[in-house]
Amino acid sequence: MDGVDKKEKKKVNKIYGLKLKLIRLATIPLCVLGVVIMVFTYYQAYETITAEIENNLRNIAVSAIYSYDGIYDKDYEFVQEDGRKYLLYNGSSVEQNTEYLDYLKADSGLDITLYYYDIALLTTITDKNGNRMSGTVANKTIAQEVIIDGHSMFYDNACIEDIEFYAYYSPIVRDNGECVGMIFVGKPTGEVKHNIIMNIAPVLVITLIAMLLVSFVSVSEAKKLASVINKEKDFLGEISKGNLRATLDPSILTRKDELGEMGQFTIMVQKFIRDMIERDPLTKLYTRRIGDAKLRYTRQEYIESGVPFCIAMADIDYFKKFNDTYGHDCGDLVLKSVADILINSLYGHGYAVRWGGEEFIIVLENTTLDEGVKLLNEIKDLVCKSCVFYDELRLSITMTFGITEGSEDSIHELLKEVDTLLYQGKENGRNQIVVKKG
């Protein structure tokens, strides 16, 4: 029992392993594609929105510079009192004039800072307590690139007092070409990333739903394919064990794909092997070994269920003459002609076995003796009416039969009985049917 359980467990593991492989093949590429689509969509949206933000920040920065351009002429002065630096315009501190920047922030949602060199003098950025964060010093790298080098710069990760901004810095230049500061326009990156996610969320949701639906279909199909493949494998396994009567699930044969074609090819291979083993190569009748097994099954069915059967032995009259006079090719032609008549006549009634050289065993299933004799007479008449053409010669054929009704007697006894009847027919002139008398 342990051995059987191990085999069954191994078989289940193989089936599960095949299903798992097919599911992986179906879902992993799909998942990778879905992730690539989502990542690409995110970064595409990120790049697009970032470009829009940069353009928007630039426009606000230019507008603010024009608005404050008057600060940077002969009317401004820079003073320092009590350790604090002031930028005065017409005698008033610029730090007190926040109305315009506050208006810009309210209108655009952007933070703006005015720097004198690298010191924030005027800003809309506030700390946790709501106080404006003026007086802070700009990042050295930014100050170098904007104030010293004189370039307008855009950053997507500028950090101001632990807050990350999308930031645009533009230098403020006097008429004499001297850079005296810069203006900052920025938007917290957290808000932008949130907007990006909100914008692409529908795409991501649709992609995810599509992935789930396609994955479900793929997994379902993978399971079906694995089931079909395993059924074909089991079928081939039965054939390899010698079970040439094994059957393949009919649903596989009705498939219109490659698996259906494989199933049909497998059936053809099975039939070819079965015919090669079970059928006589020349006559296509059952071989003696297979015929003996089928006869035993027919007899057993009679014993268990009472299904009547008849058994007959037939012989081609003067067959040796065909071989000796015209050669073995002619003899083979005669054998095939007789075999064709037997195959066609016995279809649906029983089967014929090539028992010896020119001897045949005929088994009539579900047939009484009277019905069997009638059928043999029809076969005998067909043989007599047939002829074989060989080397422009028309050769006639006759046969002799011995028939008895099936019983519980052993196969050996039944065969011995019909052999005796056949012998009587030969002794009495051939071309006749000898029936066991009741």
CA 58 to chain centroid = 53
Q: Mind listing the pLDDT tens digit for each residue in 101-134?
A: 888 888 888 899 888 888 887 888 888 888 888 7
SS3 404: strand
Q: Is residue 155 part of a domain?
A: yes
Does residue 396 contact residue 419 with C-beta atoms inside 8 Å? no
Give the whole-angstrom CA distance, residue 34 versus residue 218: 14
| CB 382 within 8 Å of CB 345 | yes
pLDDT at 258 over 90: no
CATH number at residue 389: 3.30.70.270
pLDDT above 90 coverage of the chain, percent: 37
Of 298, 313, 279, 294, the C-alpha closest to 404 is: 313
* Residues whose CB falls within 8 Å of the CB of residue 233, separated by 6 or more in sequence, listed in order: none
**Among 191, 208, 235, which residue terminates a domain?**
191
Same domain, 291 and 410: yes
In this structure, is residue 82 part of a structural domain? yes
Residue ranges making up the domain that contains 131: 72-191
Q: How confident is the model at residue 338 (pLDDT cuts 50, 70, 90)?
A: very high
423 and 294 co-located in one domain: yes
| Residue 348 included in any domain | yes
Do 283 and 430 fall into the same domain? yes
Query: Per the domain annotation, does 416 fall within a domain?
Result: yes
Q: How many domains does the chain have?
A: 2
Task: Give the helix/strand (H/E) hosting 88.
Answer: strand 84-89
Query: For residue 350, is it left (φ>0), alpha (ψ between -120 and 50) or beta?
Result: left
**pLDDT computed for residue 284 by the predictor:** 92
Residue 142 maps to which CATH number?
A: 3.30.450.40
> Rounded to whole angstroms, how far apart are CA atoms 186 and 113?
9
| Residue 266 within any structural domain of the chain | no
CA angle 139, 143, 149 (to 5 degrees): 150
| Separation CA 375–CA 329 (nearest Å) | 29
- Domain end call among 142, 168, 191: 191
Asked if the structure places residue 359 within a domain, the reply is yes
- 41 vs 29: CA distance, rounded Å: 18
- Segment among 139-143, 156-160, 274-278, 313-317 with least mean pLDDT: 274-278
Q: Is the pLDDT of residue 16 over 70?
A: no
Q: Is residue 4 part of a domain?
A: no
92, pLDDT greater than 70: no
Of 191, 215, 231, the domain-final residue: 191
Report the pLDDT value the prediction gives residue 72, as an integer from 0 to 100. Answer: 45
Strands (E), 125-278: 153-160, 163-173, 179-188
The kind and range of the H/E element at 116 are: strand 111-116
Within-domain flag for 345: yes
CB 73 within 8 Å of CB 176: no
Whose CA is closest to 173, among 69, 54, 55? 69
Nearest to 150 by CA among 131, 122, 169: 169
**For residue 50, pLDDT beyond 90:** no
> Which positions ≥6 away from 264 have C-beta within 8 Å?
253
Tokens of 333: 């032609």
Distance CA 42, CA 25 (A): 26
For residue 166, give the nearest of 299, 58, 65 by alpha carbon.
58
pTM: 0.51
Residue pair 386/297 in contact (Cβ under 8 Å)? The answer is no
**Higher-pLDDT residue of 65, 343:** 343
Cα-Cα-Cα-Cα dihedral of 308, 310, 311, 314, to 10°?
-160
Q: CA 256, CA 237: separation in Å to the nearest integer?
A: 24
The pLDDT-based confidence of 397 (bands split at 50, 70, 90) is: very high
Return the pLDDT at 18: 61
